[in-house]
Structure 1
Amino acid sequence: MDTRGRKIGIIVAVVAGLVILFFVGRYFIKNEAEKSNQSRIEKEEKELSEKEARTLAQSLQQACQYAASVGIDTSRYGVGASADENKSRLANLLLEVRYGKKPSRLEFNGLKESVDSTWAASANVSELENMTTFAPYKQLVGHYKRLRKASHTNPAMADSLRLIRQTLNFYRYINRFDPDQFVLVNIPAGELNVFDRTGKRLLPMQVISGKPDKMTPCMVTYIQDIVMYPYWNVPQNIALDEMLPRMKRDLSYIYNQNLQILDAKNKEVDPEEIDWESLSETNFPYRVRQASGCENSLGLLKFNLANPLAIYLHDTNSRDLFKSTKDHWRSHGCVRVQKPVELANLILGAKTFDADFMNKCLIDQKPKTLPTKKFPVFITYNIADVDAAGKLHFYNDVYSLAK
């Protein structure tokens, strides 16, 4: 029995050892397989990450090449050391390609900007060239590319390229507002155009803006309403500097210019009852207003703009200036428009005024306000731009701002 028992014990021990060896071996084999599989996954992920990083760097380089061709300074968008850095730079560059930067001369922005920051994450770099349909921008890009190529042998082109880049950035900046139609006043050109989103010129006309010492400010705003037969509330500096000496010298100036003198309660005061000798630039408790009518300096139509700078568009009682002079920079800062009736009808979306409105000159009219939808207005200072035929122009730097 002892011999038999020992044999059984040996057999059991061997079997147990084999079972243990089997499971231990199986564990090590499985563990090694898992390590090998994990290593393979990590290697594949690394290769994929490196591939994505290379693709991202290539996309950034491609975007930089396109951006440079449309006048964007790409020096701050070069390929960086990390994928995250390149991803951020690519997104920021794409946003500048689409929306531009805030123009440096902009003194007021009364419209809400809308920038789709999520767009850059899915934008296709290869399709950037087809992103815009705005004709003047595309035409100006064509001129920029042509002159950029020529600048390799003609360094004198550098200043022209700089001026074109400023205008290209302005056109990109308009995309932040996505207007269906908008008014664009270009001060150096002495022009106003109403554009649609394709860049079609719906209503081109001449304008007269501020003289060099009374510059019309650049702004983004909108037309609040239109006033028929407006009063001209004379700015206090004009009333004191230009009108007061004349009024003190000869009261007939007041009547000849259809001026009204108003007190602090906005009540009209008889000029004959004022002690003019006691008045001065520091002692003038009145306000000067020009009565409505054909002789009013604002003409028969005024386009009120939302802004704190007292700037607006208006008709004029000196319409012959648009034909008799090339000096389109002679106002106190507001913008006189050549075709006020056509502009009003377009903005109101209906033929509210006929062709005879400007010639009827009705007397004893009170101002009447016509409400309108917010109509975007951009007043800008673009020295380089294209005309209706796509021809490149460099206008005079009338305010000496381009130096």
Structure 2
Amino acid sequence: YYTYKSDPLVRVDFSALTAAPEPAMPQDAAFQPSSATGAAFREAIAGLVDYELYAEKDIAKALVAYYAANPDFIWVTGASAKSRAQDAVRVLGEATSYGLTPADYTVEVPAAGASTGSADARLQELVRFEMALSARVLRYVHDAHNGRVDPNRITGYYDFPAKPLDLEGVLKTLTRTQQVRTYLESRHPQNAEYQALRVELESLQASADDEIVVDPKLLLKPGETSPELPKLLTKIAGNLDDEMGGAYGEILATLATSEVYAPELVPVIKAVQKKAGMKGDGVIGPRTVAALVGTSRADKIQKVQVALEELRWLPSDLGSPRVFINQPAFTASYIENGEEKLKTRVVIGKTTNQTSFFYDQLEQVDFHPYWGVPQSILVNEMLPRLRRDPGYLDRAGYEVVNARGKRIPSSSVNWGAYGAKIPYGVRQLPSEANALGELKILFPNKHAIYMHDTPQKTFFQRDMRALSHGCVRLQDPRGMAAAVLGTSVDYIAEKLKHGHATEKVARRIPVYVAYFTAWPDMSGKVEYFSDIYDRDTRLQQALDSTEAVRSPAI
């Protein structure tokens, strides 16, 4: 992880406008000036000489370039702001509903009517308003399109391509359209997930802050009594999913006001403890309270705001079909035509071997794959044993190749001569014991991450499944392979009767190896998950850094 530093704002250099002679004709061939406002604009730009407007570097550059080529007002007519300006300011003021900060886009609209001062003073006020509004509209569009922070500068675990944005083109469009609100809102992601998160955020912001507080030091064993128990039971009941609600909802309703930790409640506590990744011993202690009280309203708001920001890093249209892996949920889904055709549990990277957040295109399915042992595993996990037992790899189903690609016996290598760099490649042959199981699903990426089967099936029974070296292990690899190849599980089973083989994914299917601690299910209901890698915290720090840089007023 890196220390995030936001780029400083720059003062917009209007000298290219104020010093330039009046052009004989507009530089932009598409520009159609209004003779009245165009003349007023050219007269007004003198009021920008000592104007201190600060903006992001690319926005400052685009602002000057646009008005140099198109010397006329977008937001002003005569002695007042146009209705389109009022529309834009209203949209900017509603930024909260998108998880954005309205203060980042605040522009004060000049009072309607003629100024009590001189005509020159009014003209100066209007041209400065023009520039300020254009600058903040561009910031808003940038944030809606790209997000407020550059994720690749937060951590190497984030890997996102640049999303080009024609800032001058934004202003050109706003000059032509009368549908300012529609246009600005269209620059946000237009997928159902983004809209569901917005609905959730609005609901959370409108709800009363009536959090139930449970004593964090509560210690309660079966048969004991505490006035804190009903509060804990209320929190548990409010956070049950459908499966848990069906199993324990009636018991919780019956004993909701009980201060006695009755025997009937022990299975409930054990079940929710296990779901939270705990031992499940039925003893209510500080760790249990912390895990079971659920996500507070304030935390939910922050998680949704973070999720909205992260969605702005992704394509507006997520694609169909697609594979969506949500790491904090430990699930992978195959989605087509708005329907979740397959959902399976996954195992992801340990906190010391984190799975990255990125997206790519599915490429192929390998049946009975070889496993190329990463150097990190070879050095850190295998080398100590190989120093004691050089022939281990020969017996365990691995093959060793030298720098020329020639296979050599593991027993012939002096493993004790090597440390951090080993000049040999090691791969595991296809077998039931192969670390990748019976198949893997590839998508090219620099992180060497892919989906695969595993012989360690018991891991899928755990609730906390950050247990791998970084790749994504599938509980239902055959189902996922069938889905992405557009075939049946029976076909996959038949392929697996034969030896090593590969099959290309013929369709264009994006795969999202995502990280969302708030995410809607297919019905739009938002679910919340633990921040297993502490990435929300890092992202919030980056957002805070951006807010601090933007705090200087216009």
Q: TM-score, normalised by structure 2?
A: 0.56
- Tell me, in whole angstroms, the C-alpha distance in 2 between the residues paired with 1:138 and 1:192: 21
| Residue of structure 2 in register with 1:107 after alignment | 158
Q: SS in structure 1 opposite 2:300? A: helix
| Residue of structure 2 in register with 1:379 after alignment | 513
1:396 aligns with 2:535: no
1:210 aligns with 2:349: yes
Which of 57, 82, 93 lines up with 2:140 in the alignment? Answer: 93
| Correspondence list, 1:4-15, <5 A | none
Which of 330, 343, 346 lines up with 2:467 in the alignment? Answer: 330
In structure 2, the CA distance between the partners of 1:50 and 1:298, relative to structure 1 (3 Å rule), is: farther
Give how far 1:190 is off. Answer: 0.7
The one-character-per-residue Cα deviations of 1:307-338 (angstroms, maximum 9, x if unpaired) are 2222222222223432x322311111111122
Aligned residues: 357
| Correspondence list, 1:219-298, <5 A | 219-250=358-389, 253-255=392-394, 257-276=396-415, 278-282=416-420, 284-298=422-436
1:83 aligns with 2:127: no
Which structure has more RCO (C-alpha within 8 Å, separation ≥ 6)? 1
Give how far 1:290 is off. Answer: 0.5
| Correspondence list, 1:44-83, <5 A | 49-50=77-78, 53-79=81-107, 81-83=128-130
C-alpha contact (below 8 Å) 1:347/1:375 kept by paired residues: yes
| Residue of structure 1 in register with 2:181 after alignment | 125
| Residue of structure 2 in register with 1:137 after alignment | 194
- Tell me, in whole angstroms, the C-alpha distance in 1 between the residues paired with 2:391 and 2:132: 73
Give how far 1:178 is off. Answer: 5.3
- Tell me, in whole angstroms, the C-alpha distance in 2 between the residues paired with 1:254 and 1:348: 34
Which of 161, 170, 177 lines up with 2:310 in the alignment? Answer: 170
Which of 332, 335, 338 lines up with 1:195 in the alignment? Answer: 335
- Tell me, in whole angstroms, the C-alpha distance in 1 between the residues paired with 2:525 and 2:129: 44
C-alpha contact (below 8 Å) 1:218/1:380 kept by paired residues: yes
- Structure 1: state its 5+ residue gaps: 1-37
| Residue of structure 1 in register with 2:32 after alignment | none
Instruction: Give me the identity figure in percent.
Output: 24
- Tell me, in whole angstroms, the C-alpha distance in 2 between the residues paired with 1:256 and 1:290: 11
- Tell me, in whole angstroms, the C-alpha distance in 1 between the residues paired with 2:187 and 2:140: 17
Q: TM-score, normalised by structure 1?
A: 0.75
- Structure 2: state its 5+ residue gaps: 1-34, 41-71, 109-127, 212-295, 538-554
In structure 2, the CA distance between the partners of 1:301 and 1:63, relative to structure 1 (3 Å rule), is: same
In structure 2, the CA distance between the partners of 1:374 and 1:161, relative to structure 1 (3 Å rule), is: same
Greater strand proportion: 1
Report the residue type matching 1:148 in the other structure. Q
RMSD value over aligned CA atoms? 3.7
Report the residue type matching 1:70 in the other structure. Y
- Tell me, in whole angstroms, the C-alpha distance in 2 between the residues paired with 1:402 and 1:283: 35
C-alpha contact (below 8 Å) 1:341/1:354 kept by paired residues: no
- Tell me, in whole angstroms, the C-alpha distance in 1 between the residues paired with 2:527 and 2:318: 26
Which of 293, 299, 308 lines up with 2:437 in the alignment? Answer: 299
Q: SS in structure 2 opposite 1:345? A: helix
In structure 2, the CA distance between the partners of 1:264 and 1:387, relative to structure 1 (3 Å rule), is: same
